[in-house]
Amino acid sequence: MECRFCNHPLEHTLIDLGHAPPSNAFLLPEKLSEPENTYPLSAKICDNCMLVQVQEQKDHKEIFDQNYVYFSSMSQDWLAHARDYVQMAKKRFDLNLESRVVEIASNDGYLLQYFKEQGIPSLGIEPASGTAQIARNKGIETLEEFFNTNLANKLKSEGRSADLLIGNNVLAHVPNINDFVRGMKLILKDRGAITMEFPHLMHLINDSQFDTIYHEHFSYFSFNTVKKILEHHGLELFDVDELKTHGGSLRIYAKHRRDKSKEISPKVSELLERENKAGIGELEYYNGFDLRAEKIKRNVLKYLISERENGRNVIAYGAAAKGNTLLNYCGIKNDLIPFAIDTTPFKQGKYLPGSHIPVYSEKKLKDSKIDTLLILPWNHKEEIIRKLKYLGEKGTKFVVPVPDIIEYSSPDFNPRKVY
Ligand code: DWN
C-alpha cells in the first residue's frame, strides 16, 4: 500500500483493529441470517508526509450512496455550531446577494440552510441521495455527486466558481485526496476562501480516539500534513481555529497562494510549532496508541461485565459510526447491550453492523427501565446528558468509554472516573 498523498510506501501501522463491517452498514432484520462482509481495519502512517490513513476496502461510492445513514442535523449543538459559522463567515468574507457559497459534502443542508436564510446564493454537493433529498426539501440546490476535478471544471465552465468553498468532515472521507484538492483550487475564485473542518490528529492520538478509525474515513490529519497537501496544489493556509467538535477538530482557512489580499494569521505558525514540539512529525509520537486502545477495550469489557453481574442493564445511546468500531473491536454483542437508541429515522428498526444490536427510537426510553446509558458518540455527551437529564434524575447513570470510562449521575452529574 502506498501513501494516498505522496505515494511513499506505507510500512508503519498505527493500529490494527482486526476485521470489521463498514461502520455505517446497518442491517435490516431480514439480513441478520445472511453472511455479513467484514474488511481489514487498520490505520497506517506515512513516514514521509506523516499522513495517517486507512486503505480503501469498500468502494467509497458504495458507502456514500442511497443507504448512507449519517444526518448532520441530528445534533442540536452541531446545528448551533453551523449557524455560528455562517454568521462569522458572512461577516469575515463580506458575503452578500452577489456571492456564491459552495459546500462539499453538504449532507442534509444542516449548514447551507443558514446561508439560505440570509439570502446568500449557495450550492450543495452531496453524493448520498437520502441526505441530498432532505437538503432539497429545505430549498437548497444540491448536486448529488462526488466532488472531483471533473465536477470542478464543469461548475467553473458554468460560471459557478466559489467565493467561499466549505468542506466540513469531508477531507477525511476522500480516497483520491490529490484530485479532490486540485478540484478545490479549480473552483475557488481568485480572491475566494476555503474553510475545512476535520478531526485533529493530535486529539486522536493524545485522547486515544481509536474508535474514530473506520472504513468511512480514509485519512487523519495533523495541521502540518494538511498544510503540505494544500500547498502542493498551490493553495495557502492563512488561518486556523481549534474547535471542540468531534473530539477536537481544526478549521483551516485557505486561499490561492497568489492571492495577497489575505494576511497570514500568527495562529498558523504557532500551531505548526506546537505540533512539531509535540513530536507529531516523528514516528515515536505514535508509539503505544494501539496499547492504549487495548486497555480501553479491557476497561469497557470489565465495566459492562461488572454492570451485568450486578444486575444493572446497559443500553447504548447514539448508534454512531465510532460506536460500531468500539463495539466490534471489543467483541460486544446484545448479551451485554440489549439495544441501542438513536434519533436518526434511517437507523431505527435496523441492527448495528457486526454486533447485531437492535436500534430503537427514543420512544423506547419511555417504556424501559435503564440502569446505565453508554454514550457511544462521546463527542456529544454534554448535549445528550442535558437532553436525558430526566432519566438521570430517575437513577440512570450515563457513561462514556473513551479515553476513560467516566460516569455521570445525579444529583450533580459531575464526571467520576471508573477506569
Ligand atoms: O466523520 C463523520 C462524523 C463527522 O460523523 C462521519 N463519517 C460520520 C459521523 O460519525 P459518527 O456517526 O461517529 O458521528 P457522531 O456525530 O458522533 O454520531 C452521532 C450519532 O448519535 C448519530 O447516529 C445521531 C446520534 N444522536 C442521537 O441519537 N441523539 C446524536 C445526538 C446528539 C442525539 O441527541
* Angle, CA of 169, 170 and 171, to the nearest 5°: 105
| pLDDT above 90 for 67 | no
Residue 365 · residue 391 · CB < 8 Å: yes
pLDDT band at 85; cut points 50, 70, 90? very high
Distance 76 CA to ligand 1 centre (A): 11
The answer to whether 90 and 118 have CB atoms below 8 angstroms apart is: yes
The rounded Å distance from CA 147 to ligand 1 centre is 23
Distance from residue 320's CA to the centre of ligand 1 (Å): 5
Nearest atom, ligand 1, residue 320 CA: 12
- Residue 374's pLDDT band (boundaries 50, 70, 90)? very high
Question: Does the C-beta of 379 come closer than 6 Å to ligand 1?
Answer: yes
d(CA 45, CA 61): 24
pLDDT at position 381 is 97
- Where do we find the cell 479549480? 186
Quick one: which atom of ligand 1 is closest to the CA of 341?
28
pLDDT tens profile 26-63: 999 999 999 999 999 999 999 999 999 998 888 888 88
Does position 114 have pLDDT exceeding 90, yes or no? yes
pLDDT at residue 14, as a whole number: 98
| DSSP H or E stretch at residue 177 | helix 177-187
Who contacts 41 (Cβ-Cβ below 8 Å, separation ≥6)?
Answer: 16, 17, 18, 19, 20, 54, 57, 213, 214, 215, 325
Does 344 sit in the ligand 1 pocket, CB within 6 Å? Answer: yes
What span, in angstroms and rounded, lies between the C-alpha atoms of 200 and 209? 11
Report how far ligand 1's centroid is from the alpha carbon of 296 (Å): 21
Determine which of 62-71, 101-110, 213-222, 319-328 has the lowest per-residue pLDDT on average: 62-71
The answer to whether the CB of 26 falls within 8 A of the CB of 6 is no
Q: Is 320 in the pocket of ligand 1 (CB under 6 A)?
A: yes
Average pLDDT, the chain: 97
d(CA 167, CA 118): 20
Distance, in Å, from the CA atom of 46 to the CA atom of 60, rounded to the nearest integer, reads 21
What confidence score (pLDDT) does residue 368 get? 87
Query: Which atom of ligand 1 is least distant from the CA of 78?
Result: 32
pLDDT at 64: 87
Per-residue pLDDT band at 71 (split at 50, 70, 90): very high
Among 70, 196, 216, 328, which residue has the most ligand 1 atoms within 8 Å of its CB, making it the best to mutate? 70
Tell me how far the alpha carbon of residue 205 lies from the centroid of ligand 1, in angstroms. Answer: 20
Measure 283 CA to ligand 1 centroid, in angstroms: 31
- Looking from the CA of residue 384, the nearest atom of ligand 1 is 34
DSSP state of 368: S
Is residue 384 in contact with ligand 1, taking CB distance under 6 Å? yes
Which distant-in-sequence residues (6+ apart) come within 8 Å of 303 by Cβ?
A: 399, 401, 405, 418, 419
The domain spans of the chain are 62-276, 289-417
| Cβ neighbourhood burial of 231 (10 Å; 0-12, 13-18, 19+) | middle
Residue nearest to atom 5 of ligand 1 (CA): 70
**Residue 259 contacts by C-beta under 8 Å, 6 or more apart in sequence?**
190, 191, 192, 236
pLDDT score recorded for residue 47: 95
Q: What are phi and psi of 278, to 5 degrees?
A: -75, -15
Place of cell 450486578: 310
**Strand 249-256 versus strand 235-243 pairing type:** antiparallel
- Which residue's alpha carbon is at the smallest distance from atom 20 of ligand 1? 320
387: Cβ below 6 Å to ligand 1? yes
Q: Helix (H, G, I), strand (E, B), or coil: what is residue 101? A: strand
d(C-alpha 89, C-alpha 273), whole Å: 27
9 or 62, which is more confident: 9
Question: Is 70 a pocket residue for ligand 1 (Cβ < 6 Å)?
Answer: yes
Q: What is the pTM of this model?
A: 0.96
Q: For the segment 175-194, what is each residue's pLDDT rounded down to a tens digit?
A: 999 999 999 999 999 999 99
Report how far ligand 1's centroid is from the alpha carbon of 159 (Å).
35
With beta carbons less than 8 A apart as the criterion, state whether 83 and 91 touch: no
- The correct answer on CATH 3.40.47.10 for the domain covering 289-417 is no
Q: Write down the pLDDT at residue 367.
A: 85
Atom of ligand 1 lying closest to residue 383 CA? 32
Of the candidates 332, 374, 378, the residue with the CA atom closest to the CA atom of residue 353: 332
Q: Closest Cα to residue 53, out of 237, 220, 295, 266?
A: 220
Ligand 1, atom 14, residue with closest C-alpha: 320
Q: Which fold has domain 62-276?
A: Rossmann fold (3.40.50)
Residue of 168, 343, 361, 375 with the most ligand 1 atoms within 8 Å of its CB, for mutation: 343
The span from the CA of 155 to the CA of 158, in Å, is: 5
Residue nearest to atom 32 of ligand 1 (CA): 75
Distance 74 CA to ligand 1 centre (A): 7
Rounded percentage of the chain residues whose pLDDT exceeds 90 = 95
Could you check whether 62-276 and 289-417 share the same CATH topology? yes
Q: What is the CB-side half-sphere exposure of residue 72 using CA atoms within 13 A? A: 26
Q: How far is the CA of 7 from the centre of ligand 1 (A)?
A: 32
* C-alpha distances in Å from residue 203, one per residue of 44, 200, 294: 17, 6, 18
